[in-house]
Chains A and B, each alone.
Chain A
Amino acid sequence: MALLACLVDDLDEGFANLVRSEQRVVYSVALRMTRSPSEAEDLTAETFLRAYRALRGYDRSRVLALRPRSWLVTIMLNTWRNSLRDASRRPNLMPSADLPDRHAEDQDVEQAVESAERQRELGRLVGQLPVAQRLAVVLRHVVGLPMAEIAAVLKCPEGTAKSHVSRGLSKLRTLYDAVPPSRECNFAGRREQR
């Protein structure tokens, strides 16, 4: 892979290419896990810094053997879990709850549901999945990771990873179908159904 060869060649220059090519994947997953754009941005930057520090200590063969996406996502998840653990020890620094989503729910949505609105709603529903299923669905269907790499991130056999994806997806489908965007245009209607 050209990206990895470039890293071996000149770490800093290769690393800029790595960041450019993988920042979208790392940020997209981080956003789904933290549910906050600013936390996701910090987490993404911290992930790449940690990755850089690790790469400084890797020899050539170890760099060339990397699967960058699952490697970066794994670093991101460890960083995120550490920050959650630290935050629970210092309650005043709890990560902020997902304000944008709550805002969306409180909005009096009488107008037609725009696609941005639907996207936000879908993001909110994804956020309701249990962590392992959420992660599996996001890795598979938001950023399109191959199943083998998803299994590596989840540290489980491929079969288990697949079942996380499919169970997550079917739970999401139930939630999603409860708000059919084309037919039903307001959230008040959905609240009545509950």
Chain B
Amino acid sequence: MTVNNHDPLISALRTLSCHPPRSVVDLVFSNWIIISGPVGELYVAFTDHGVNFVRTAESVHRDDAEFLREYRERFGRPLRKATRPPAGLVPALRGRPSRALQLDLRGLTALERDTLEATRRIPAGQTRPYGWLAREIGRPRAVRAVGTALRRNPVPVLIPCHRVTTSTGELGNYVFGADMKKRLLRAEQVNLDEVHELAKNNVYYLGSETTGIVCFPTCSSARRITHQHRRGFRTIDQAIRAGYRPCKQCRPAAAEPA
């Protein structure tokens, strides 16, 4: 056997040591940033796959350490402060949902992911009941599971779980408290007073006598119905029996069991 120093095989083996193609620091570390949101500042964390955690500054008492602790507890990933927000975040927070904005929802169950993806499709300024969401994901009986999935939503505001309310027109729970839910909805011009007023009169659906279409009260079509042509319904079945067709945009038929 030759001496190591002059052994061509051993010298050749040494050349097999190589750097990974991308920095592993970038793959392993999450980044965090404070950014101004629709109602106050937000802490946002993101990985190389997209945004995976959002907290209001209020909810972490404006304490960086508390946010970081909560993040590590939940994800077990190291963090470093980012110098720039991820692509698409700024437009999304200004109410312009952007395709560039990637969300990292790894680690969630299929039901959680389905729920959040359906929630993401609720337009700004509108609300939907929990039961509607359960129907939208093809699990009409899983209303409670849907509620749990929303409570665990890692990226509130960006996935607008604040737009999901109870079927009786109450706001329902929110990860950052009912008051924040109200503020977020008001910031999107949801007329909560009107929704509340209708609910007091047991009205959860609005039909238009001119078009014969029935909607959720916050649907953009419902908001265009003039007062004298507006008809309220307690259930979607009542509306259908009265000859109304469920709106194809807000799909209110999904709110009731078939």
Contacts and interface: CB of A to CB of B under 8 A. Distances in A.
B is a partner of A: yes
Contact of B18 (A31, A122, A144, A176): A31
Interface string B65-84: 00000001000111110000
B32 to A, nearest CB: 11
B16 A123 contact: yes
B16 A52 contact: no
Nearest to A52: B78
A169 B16 CA distance: 14
B221 to A, nearest CB: 46
A137 B72 CA distance: 37
Contacts of A19: 24-25, 28-29
B27 interface: yes
Nearest to B73: A56
B19 A119 contact: no
B12 interface: yes
B80 A16 contact: yes
Nearest to B10: A141
A20 B12 contact: no
Interface residues of B, number: 25
A137 to B, nearest CB: 7
Interface in A1-44: 11-12, 15-16, 19-20, 23-28, 31-32, 37, 40-41, 44
Contacts of B28: 19, 45, 48-49, 52
Interface string A30-72: 0110000100110011001100110010000000000000000
A119 B79 contact: no
Contacts of B72: 56
A27 B16 CA distance: 11
B9 interface: yes
Interface in A145-188: 169, 172-173, 176
A94 interface: no
A176 B8 CA distance: 10
B210 interface: no
B21 interface: yes
A143 B16 CA distance: 9
B13 A27 contact: no
Given A16-B29, A56-B72, A44 B15 contact: no
Interface in A113-157: 118-119, 122-123, 126, 137-138, 141-144
A169 B12 CA distance: 12
A28 B24 CA distance: 13
B175 to A, nearest CB: 24
A80 to B, nearest CB: 15
B257 interface: no
A37 B12 CA distance: 19
8 contacts: A11-B78, A23-B24, A44-B20, A118-B12, A119-B12, A122-B13, A169-B10, A176-B9
Interface of B: 9-10, 12-25, 27-29, 72, 76-80
Interface of A: 11-12, 15-16, 19-20, 23-28, 31-32, 37, 40-41, 44-45, 48-49, 52-53, 56, 118-119, 122-123, 126, 137-138, 141-144, 169, 172-173, 176
Closest 8 CB pairs of A and B: A27-B20, A141-B13, A45-B27, A23-B24, A12-B78, A53-B76, A28-B17, A48-B28
